[in-house]
Amino acid sequence: MNAPNPTIELLMRHRSIRKYTDQSVERSTLEQIVSAGQMASSSSHVQAYSVVAVKDPERKRKLAELCGGQAYVEECPVFLVWCADLHRLKDAADKYTPELESHEGLTENFIIATVDAALAAQNAAVAAESLGLGIVYIGGIRNRIAEVSELLELPELVYPVFGMCLGYPDQTPVVRPRLPLEAVLHIDRFDKEKADSHLDAYDDTMVQYISERTHGARDTAWTRLMADKITALSRPHMREYLYNRGFKME
């Protein structure tokens, strides 16, 4: 499918960038990227997110360690920490209606803040790439999330959803094949059987892709990797951490 315009062309050639040139990111560039992030939709205009741009080398070094020793967190010129943020809403309730119970602990409000942060971040990622920068999302920010929160001095009702390295690319990775469209897109109703019938072909695609990229050292099917992923006890501290930050999941 040929891209019909430069924006879709940009979206279709996205790949995560983990190696950066020495070029720093100007303050005006950072502001343009985050401003573009802010233009994403937000539930009832609550704008329930914030972002911490970490430039200080010592803080980046510490964050790289907390994210599981990912060198690119330290090496990128700017590391963005995208946070779901209900603190402005709670403060407003305390100011105007202290006599009323507020419901920041609802699962619904956790979803709103998490989605708001993700929509803004993805808009920012697109803006960054349109300016010739590269990004990679860092879920490892949730590995030792309580320590990250302390390091960045996050207040109550603010949690880091993910990090994002930002810098000028010093590599050109191959675009990774996505699931077949037919496995993801349903018409009028969810047709599990029909969608899942495309997974075998995707396993073949990914085996070939991984095998080529690792010169034959690895050739695991995608579905097999997914089995490993969901049977791993991944970040089991999240529930307690979130509860303690005010996201009670009521």
C-beta pairs of 9-13 under 8 Å, 24+ apart in sequence: 10/126, 10/129, 10/130, 11/126, 12/175, 13/175
Nearest approach in angstroms of CB 163 to its own copies is 12
Q: Is 201 in the site for its own copies (CB under 8 A)?
A: no
Binding status of residue 101 toward its own copies by CB under 8 A? yes
Q: Which residue number, 71 or 111, has a Cβ lying nearer to its own copies? A: 111
Give least dist CB 207 to its own copies, A. 14
| Under rule CB under 8 A, residue 70 binds its own copies | no
Contact with its own copies (CB under 8 A) among 26, 147, 196, 204: 196
Q: What is the DSSP string of 47-75?
A: --EEEEEE--HHHHHHHHHHTTS-HHHHH
Size of the site for its own copies (CB under 8 A): 121
Report in angstroms how near the CB of residue 21 gets to its own copies at its nearest. 19
Vertex 87 angle, CA 244 and 160, to 5°: 60
Rg (the chain; Cα; Å):
20
Residues 119-178 that bind its own copies (CB under 8 A): 119, 121-123, 125-127, 130-131, 135-137, 139, 142, 151-155, 158, 161-162, 175-176, 178
- Residues 214, 206: Cα–Cα separation, whole Å: 12
From candidates 19, 118, 207, 211, binder to its own copies by CB under 8 A: 118
Whole-angstrom Cα distance, residue 163 to residue 174? 22
- How far apart are the C-alpha atoms of 147 and 126, rounded to whole Å? 29
Interface with its own copies (CB under 8 A), residue from 100, 215, 216, 217: 100
